[in-house]
Amino acid sequence: MTDNSKIRVDGQRLWDSLMAMAAIGATDKGGCNRQALTDLDKQGRDLFVQWCRDAGCSVDIDSMGNIFARRPGSNPDLPPVLTGSHLDTQPTGGKFDGVYGVLAGLEVMRALNDAGIETAAPLEVAVWTNEEGARFSPAMIGSGVWSGNFEQDYAYARTDKEGKAFGDELQRIGYRGPTPARARPLTAAFEVHIEQGPILEAEEKQIGVLSGVQGMYWYDLTLTGQPCHAGPSPMEGRRDPFMALHRVLDRLYRLAEEFAPWARVTFGDIRAEPGSRNTVPEKLVLAVDLRHPEQEVLDEIDRRFREITAEIAADTGVEAEIRDEWRSPAVAFAPPCVEAVRAAVAELGYSNKEMVSGAGHDSVYVSRVAPTGMIFVPCEKGLSHNEAENAEPVDLEAGANVLLHAMLKMAND
């Protein structure tokens, strides 16, 4: 049997690929704006597809625009070992979120080509469509349809803030492929990603070995009162949705403290209607994001959120409606995949920490249909979804090496 223990990725080539991709949609502050299904997303996809073909991979694109680049194995009857992430970014995103997982997968293929190694099972690198949910909500909809968690018609009908439909934009950029977006057998799936948090850097660990992903629930909270003039209307007689809002915010932040240190409460977007400076608004629409790694605790936070909102609405004379936008239960990764990552870290000698992801990733949906594991590397000051997002080349190389050896283990066992 061939000894593959000495094989390593080319860290400089990986970095050069990341910087070449970062030039597409580059922002003045050093980040990237390459939102899903835009012309810039198309440019990034086109470059990736060309790189994969140059590396001898076949490329398949499904009806959700998910891209699968395949390196054949010696036994084509074995289900492939898949890796990958996403190329789309936030409007003020960074150079590494998502794209690192895609290009680390490509670097694994290139390193195997350089070493002349053939795996038993085929290997694949995936690009999942609209992971971020920045342009089309909800997030992770490409992997969500593929895994059977969303209907394709629902995805196609989603619109951006300009009213453009997902399906139309997918067709426009030429990435509405002929293959049905449907899960198929996989030996294993892996995703390597920057941590998007400060823990690995603070503890001076190079690799995060993930056991799962915390659950997350998204909502739109609508508070409806009565519009009135800012000057003549006495404070005590108003049905002002902002009066309810500040109490809801305070109570939910206190709820996060109650379930510290792992509870997360975030309010990422707000809209006032009619939105006039000298008018009490009739309506406020607030985006709410609740998270916790333990499903039972997340469900308790969800229940308390509803109780708190109903109580405050009654006290302030406004109407409250909570609409569930997206629910992603807590995830536990497959033990064989977690162990493959552990074994790779041990073999390579990297410092490491067992972790649960605080952010959602495509692996959440992939894990529902295939054995899945994840790998984290540090990012500077924990910053992500930010143009200042940064990661060290040596850490990115280490993560790609762990990915390489975890995939080799699963592809050859």
Q: Report the distance separating Cα 65 and Cα 63, nearest Å.
A: 5
Rg of the chain over Cα atoms, rounded to whole angstroms, equals 23
Mean pLDDT rounded to a whole number for the chain: 96
Rounded mean pLDDT, 127-137: 96
- 336-345 residues labelled b (16+ CB within 10 A) or e (exposed): ebbebbbebb
Q: Report the distance separating Cα 234 and Cα 406, nearest Å.
A: 66
Q: Report the distance separating Cα 186 and Cα 392, nearest Å.
A: 31
The strand pair at 215-224 and 283-292 is best described as antiparallel
Backbone angles phi, psi at 171, to 5 degrees: -65, -40
DSSP state of 28: T
Residue-wise pLDDT tens digits, 250-267: 999 999 999 999 999 999
Residue-wise pLDDT tens digits, 179-229: 999 999 999 999 999 999 999 999 999 999 999 999 999 999 999 999 999
Backbone angles phi, psi at 27, to 5 degrees: -105, 165
pLDDT at 2: 61
Q: Report the distance separating Cα 139 and Cα 135, nearest Å.
A: 9
CB contact at 8 A, 90 and 385: yes
Summary count for the chain: helices (H), strands (E): 12, 15
pLDDT at 101: 98
Residues in the chain: 413
CB contact at 8 A, 80 and 124: yes
pLDDT at 1: 46
Q: Which residue has the tokens 């932040």?
A: 253
The model's confidence at residue 360, banded by pLDDT at 50, 70 and 90, is confident
Q: Which of 148, 147, 144 is nearest to 158 (CA)?
A: 144
Q: Report the distance separating Cα 387 and Cα 63, nearest Å.
A: 31
The model's confidence at residue 3, banded by pLDDT at 50, 70 and 90, is confident
pLDDT at 326: 85
Residue-wise pLDDT tens digits, 224-245: 999 999 999 999 989 999 999 9
Residue type, 238: R
Task: Establish whether the linkage from the previous residue to 378 is cis, with ω within 30° of 0.
Answer: no
Residue-wise pLDDT tens digits, 329-349: 999 999 999 999 999 999 999
Residue-wise pLDDT tens digits, 25-74: 999 999 999 999 999 999 999 999 999 999 999 999 999 999 999 999 99
CB contact at 8 A, 120 and 188: no
CB contact at 8 A, 289 and 239: no
